[in-house]
Structures are given as structure tokens and as C-alpha cells.
Amino acid sequence: MTTAPQPPKETRSFQSILVTGGAGFIGSHVIRRLLRTHPNTKVVNLDALTYAGNLANLKDVEDHAHLHFVKGDIQDRALLDKLFEAHGFDAVLHLAAESHVDRSIDEPLAFLETNILGTAALLHAAKESWTRRGCMETALFYHVSTDEVYGSLGQEGLFSETTAYDPRSPYSASKASSDHVVRAYHHTYGLPTVISNCSNNYGSHQFPEKLIPLMIRNIVDGRPLPIYGEGINIRDWLWVEDHAAAMDVILQRGWVGDTYNIGGLNEWRNIDLVHKLIDLVDSRLGRTKGHSLGLITFVKDRAGHDMRYAIDASHLASRLGWKPSVTFEEGLSHTVDWYLENASWMEEVTSGDYQQYYAKHYDKR
């Protein structure tokens, strides 16, 4: 039905956006940004508040007149229909997902359910609502995805939008499947969709099961720093605020049917990044240089551990003019400061079931 990606006739603005997963790490940054850059738009945050979702991430905007929170599951089709009816969404910014690779190895089905079936339920609700309301021409379904769908790189090369999908973990397989379902709704039903695939994000409010906040927390507390395998795997890190800025540009000017890779050309071996974090945290805490180096502990490797991710973001740069705004030094320094200044946030998000997860996950390694 559809042909090549098409540019919007003009910069889009929306009356009412459904953001899913807005209480999570990236979602909370995006919501804060949307409230700032789209002052006349209603933003509805649908989030199931899993272990990774925390309303503390949105504390500074919780009373904003244009922000509404709904606790619910994206797989709940009756709820989705009700929300589309009540709020008349003309855009969906879909971030809700199970997002941690290690958990996907332990509990793959939860990932397949939320990430594939949940995305399908949202697509269906949008198609039904926008067909009924005759607004397929102006609406937008924006699906937020990951570079992990492309698989694992060797020492050379970058992922581009035309790289063949080759997911290796249950997480990346579930995200790859959801990308395919999004494209199927676009090509079959003419649903106006756009997809972005981003590299590893870092910044404030990230749940401390992911590498950077986990290491910062453990350096502060003097706990072992678990490095999987030899620590030579490479990730391409992007500051979360730059990801949020890219998403905003894509929402406003992204071409319908297009895909955008987002990344900062910022590759680090895990072990080198951990050394950098040790230097930063130790110096902030007035410790002598190298104080925490002895905490580094090489542990059993992750099953199927992808060796290297690296993104070619030139399509996004040339088509929509986005580029990262900060250097890694600036972003990481800001990030470390935030975690050191927000010990109560760390305490709050790690006080529940996470303690059992942490003990079980790291004790068996």
C-alpha cells in the first residue's frame, strides 16, 4: 500500500500525545522535554509501574496541568480503547518495554508479552481510533527501539538503517519483532509510523541494574564492580537528554515510514568506562586516585553477550539536522553528580524487590 518514506507537509504539533513507559528512565526525560517544547499539548503517561517505572522520576513535573498519569498495562486493549476515546490522541510515543538484557535471559516470556504483544495492542488501538476519526493523515505512531536489533559487530563497521536484523538476546529479539509489527501496520493499513533505533543511553534516573548507575552506586558503597567476561565488549553511549532531543525532532519532522538510527559516535570498552567512573566518583568523594580500583571483579560472562554496538547516525543528521549536544566528558560528569546528589532516589528505587534480584543475579556469577 505505501511507498517510500514521506516528509510531513509542515512541522507537526499535536493536541494530545500518549506516551507509554513515561515513568521509566528515558520516558521521564522525554515527558519533561515535551512539557517544555510542546506547551499546548496534553501528555498522557501510560505506565504499568513495573520495578523499572517510578513516579519519583517525574516528581518535578507531577503537578503540571498538561500531564496526566494512568497506571495500566499496554496489553490491556479495553483500557487502550477507553484512553483513545477519552483523550483523542493524535500521537503515540511508545517507549514502554521490558528493557534489561540480563532479565530477558532469566524471564524471556515477559519480554515477548510486553514488547511484542503490547506494541501490537497499541498499534491496533491507534489504527482503530485514527481510522474512525479520519486522522491518519495528521497522526503519528512513533515506536522507540534499540540498536540491539542489528546484532553484534566485530571490531569494524557501524550499524546503519539498512543493516540486516540479527537479534541475539530475548530482549533484542522482542524489540526486533515489535519493529516488524510496526512496519507491517504501516505497509498494510497505512498507519503513519516512524521508528528510531538508539544506542545505549546514560544519564540521571536510570535504574541501577544497567552498567553506569550500577557501577556508580557500587563505587560509592565500596561494593564489588562486576565486569562480565573480560570487560572488552564495546557500547556506544548517548546522553539521554540528547536522545530525548532527537525524539522530539523526529516527532515534529520525522518522515512517515522512515527509520532513524540515533547514536553519538562514542564507543567505550566496558572496562575502560568503569575505570573512568572510578576516577570520577573517587575524585568527587575526595578519595585518593585509584582508591576503588580493587573493587573491580571479573565475573562469569553474560550468555550470548553481544561484542560491540556502534551507530551511524548520519541519516538522522542529514535528513533532520540532529546531532548530540554534549561531549561524553560533560554528560558523564553531570550524570555522576546527579547520582551523588540524589542518594534518596537511589535508596527509593532499590529498596524493594531489587535487593533480591541483585543478590540472586550477582551471587550466581
Footprint on this chain of ligand NAD (rule: CB under 6 A): 20-21, 23-27, 47-50, 52-53, 73-75, 95-99, 114, 118, 144, 146, 175, 198, 200-201, 207
Q: How far lies 259's CA from each of 103, 142, 160, 194, 267, in Å?
A: 27, 10, 10, 6, 22
Determine the distance from the C-alpha atom of residue 207 to the mean position of all C-alpha atoms in its chain, rounded to a whole number.
11
- Rounded Cα distance, 303 and 186, in Å: 34
- Mask of contacts with ligand TYD, 99-118, x by CB under 6 A? --x-----------------
Comparison of 144 and 215: residue with beta carbon closer to ligand NAD: 144
In the complex, least distance from residue 349 CB atom to ligand NAD, rounded to whole angstroms: 10
Please confirm, yes or no, whether 63 is among the known catalytic residues: no
In the complex, least distance from residue 47 CB atom to ligand NAD, rounded to whole angstroms: 5
Of 73, 90, 147, 248, which residue is the catalytic one? 147
Q: How far lies 295's CA from each of 234, 258, 307, in Å?
A: 21, 45, 23
Could you say which of ligand NAD, ligand TYD, none residue 175 binds, taking C-beta under 5 to 8 angstroms by partner kind?
Answer: ligand NAD
Is there binding between residue 233 and ligand TYD (CB under 6 A)? yes
- Rounded Cα distance, 227 and 221, in Å: 17
Closest CA relative to residue 97, chosen from 191, 198, 11, 3 = 198
Closest CA relative to residue 211, chosen from 192, 191, 229, 196 = 229
Please confirm, yes or no, whether 148 is among the known catalytic residues: yes
- Options 49-57, 210-218, 260-268, 318-326: segment touching ligand TYD (CB under 6 A): 210-218
Q: Decide: 46 and 22 in contact? Cβ < 8 Å.
A: yes
Of 171, 189, 260, 339, which residue is the catalytic one? 171
Of 73, 90, 148, 179, which residue is the catalytic one? 148
In the complex, least distance from residue 205 CB atom to ligand NAD, rounded to whole angstroms: 8
Which residues are catalytically annotated?
A: 147-148, 171
